[in-house]
Amino acid sequence: MNKVIGLSASLLMGSATFVLSENVAPSQDGGYGLGRTALPEEIAAWDIDVRPDGLGLPAGSGDVFTGEELWIDNCSACHGDFGEARGRWPVIAGGFGTLHGEDPNKTVGSYWPYLSTVWDYVHRAMPYGNAQSLSNDEVYAIVAYIMYSNDLVDDDFELSNENFLDVRLPNEENFFMDDRAEVELPMFSEAVCMENCVESVEITARAAVLDVTPETETEGDAAAAEVIEVAAATEEAPPAEIGPSPELVAAGEEAFRACRSCHQVGEGARNGAGPQLNGIYMATAAHAEGFRYSPAFEQVRADGLVWDDEALTAYLMDPRGYLPNNRMAFRGLRDAADAEAIIAYLRAEGGE
For residues 274 and 94, what is the distance between their CA atoms, to the nearest angstrom? 10
Q: Which of 64, 65, 67, 69 is nearest to 142 (CA)?
A: 67
* pLDDT, position 199: 83
Q: What is the pLDDT along the chain (352 residues), one digit of tens a residue?
A: 333 333 333 333 333 333 444 444 555 666 677 888 899 999 988 899 999 999 999 999 999 999 999 999 999 999 999 999 988 899 999 999 899 888 899 999 999 999 999 999 999 999 999 999 999 999 999 999 999 999 999 999 999 999 999 999 999 999 988 888 888 888 888 888 888 888 888 888 777 655 556 555 555 455 555 555 555 555 555 555 567 888 888 888 888 887 887 889 888 888 877 888 998 888 998 888 888 888 888 888 898 899 999 998 999 988 888 888 887 877 788 888 888 988 888 888 877 6
H helices within 57-155, ranges in order?
A: 64-74, 76-79, 115-125, 136-149
Do you find a cis peptide bond into 127, omega within 30 degrees of 0? Answer: yes
* pLDDT, position 77: 92
* pLDDT, position 212: 59
Q: Please, what's the largest Cα pairwise distance for the chain?
A: 98
Q: Which domains does the chain have, with CATH numbers?
A: 7-46 (no CATH), 61-174 (1.10.760.10), 246-350 (1.10.760.10)
Q: Would you say the C-alpha torsion 337, 341, 342, 346 has a positive or negative sign?
A: positive
272 CA to centre of own chain: 13
CB 149 within 8 A of CB 273: yes
For residues 302 and 153, what is the distance between their CA atoms, to the nearest angstrom? 26
* pLDDT, position 17: 38
Q: What is the DSSP string of 161-218?
A: TTTGGG---TTGGG-----TTTTHHHHTTSPPP-S--SS-----------S---SSHH
Provide the pairing of β-strand 7-12 with 15-20: antiparallel
> What is the phi/psi pair of residue 63, to 5°?
-105, 170
